[in-house]
Amino acid sequence: MSPATISSSQVNESATKKRKLVDSEDKTEIPSLPAAVSSTPVLQVKLLSDKAKVPTRGSALAAGYDIYGVEDYLIKAQDRGVIETDIAVAVPAGYYGRIAPRSGLATKHGLQTGAGVVDADYRGPLKILLFNHSNKDFQVHAGDRLAQMVIEKIITPEVVAVAELDETERGSNGFGSTGGFGGQPAKAAEDAVMKEPKEKAVFVEQASEPVATSPASENEPANIDVPAAQTAPEKSE
């Protein structure tokens, strides 16, 4: 039978058989869509001892999570100490934990934190390095809030070695190049000082003899400034 003699009913019948054959062989199940997952990152905390505490925030809008110590420790004046917390954390990928000082300990006792980066892939115990910048010893007690951890978003761009860097207006100007504490650029501050009127300083030394403050001409007597006589106050009987 030539293609020209095939009827439309035969074509429809052949297509129906092919669809049934495909349906019978294809047993793949299409998975259902997963339940909605919260987009808020989660900070996982593992307690390593009975003394450990889960980090907490002091208020609803506080940026940092307070970290608690689990031991008594005396930090000598002008010294440092490493305090155990007995917790381990899993910071979300794309973030890191920054260990920052607590404002009260910093302002009242001179305590500052160090070594304050917790990577997202670190799973070991968290320890707090405290510097005592004061002149007094500081006693840490178990259960004290020693520091705070702020979860910050980061990027890790690819590192590329280049022959030259792009030019900027600042260039290689370093420390102090942008001005002093007042925010005035260094060059502008220098120019402002140079433009200020200069006043001639006059130094007068104390002497027992009168001191002439202006030269005398040949026909005029010299102007003499005579110090006023100093007399002791009379004693009352």
CA distance 30 to 32: 6
Per the CB < 8 A criterion, the answer to whether 98 and 116 are in contact is yes
Nearest CA to 133 among 106, 159, 158? 106
Specify the pLDDT at position 180: 72
Residue 31 has pLDDT above 90, yes or no: no
pLDDT in tens, 176-229: 888 776 666 656 656 665 666 666 555 555 555 555 555 555 555 555 555 555
Residue 96 lies in a domain: yes
Domain of residue 123, residue span: 44-153
**Mean pLDDT score, 82-91:** 98
Per the CB < 8 A criterion, the answer to whether 126 and 118 are in contact is yes
- Residue 72 structure tokens: 């008594």
Nearest CA to 118 among 148, 149, 140? 149
Beta bridge partners of 65: 149
Residue 35 has pLDDT above 50, yes or no: no
Residue 85 lies in a domain: yes
pLDDT in tens, 98-148: 999 999 999 999 999 999 999 999 999 999 999 999 999 999 999 999 999
Output phi, psi for 183, to 5 deg.
85, 0
Specify the pLDDT at position 237: 47
Nearest CA to 99 among 143, 147, 60? 147
If one counts the domains in the chain, the total is 1
**Mean pLDDT score, 86-105:** 97
Residue 194 lies in a domain: no
CA distance 147 to 105: 9
Residue 78: CATH number of its domain: 2.70.40.10
In the chain, what percentage of residues exceed pLDDT 90? 56
- Residue 60 structure tokens: 């609803």
Residue 134 lies in a domain: yes
CA distance 42 to 147: 20
Provide the mean pLDDT of the chain: 80
| Biggest CA-to-CA distance, the chain | 154
Nearest CA to 77 among 136, 140, 146, 129? 136
Per the CB < 8 A criterion, the answer to whether 102 and 66 are in contact is yes
Q: Compare 156 and 9 and report the one with higher pLDDT.
A: 156
Beta bridge partners of 82: 129
Residue 10 lies in a domain: no
CA distance 161 to 50: 49
Residue holding tokens 């026909």? 219
Per the CB < 8 A criterion, the answer to whether 132 and 82 are in contact is no
Residue 128 lies in a domain: yes
Residue 89 has pLDDT above 90, yes or no: yes
Specify the pLDDT at position 194: 63
Specify the pLDDT at position 178: 82
Q: Compare 68 and 181 and report the one with higher pLDDT.
A: 68
Helix (H) or strand (E) holding 111: strand 111-114
Length of the chain as a residue count:
237
Specify the pLDDT at position 229: 54
Residue 7 lies in a domain: no
Residue 18 lies in a domain: no
Confidence of residue 58 (pLDDT cuts 50, 70, 90): very high
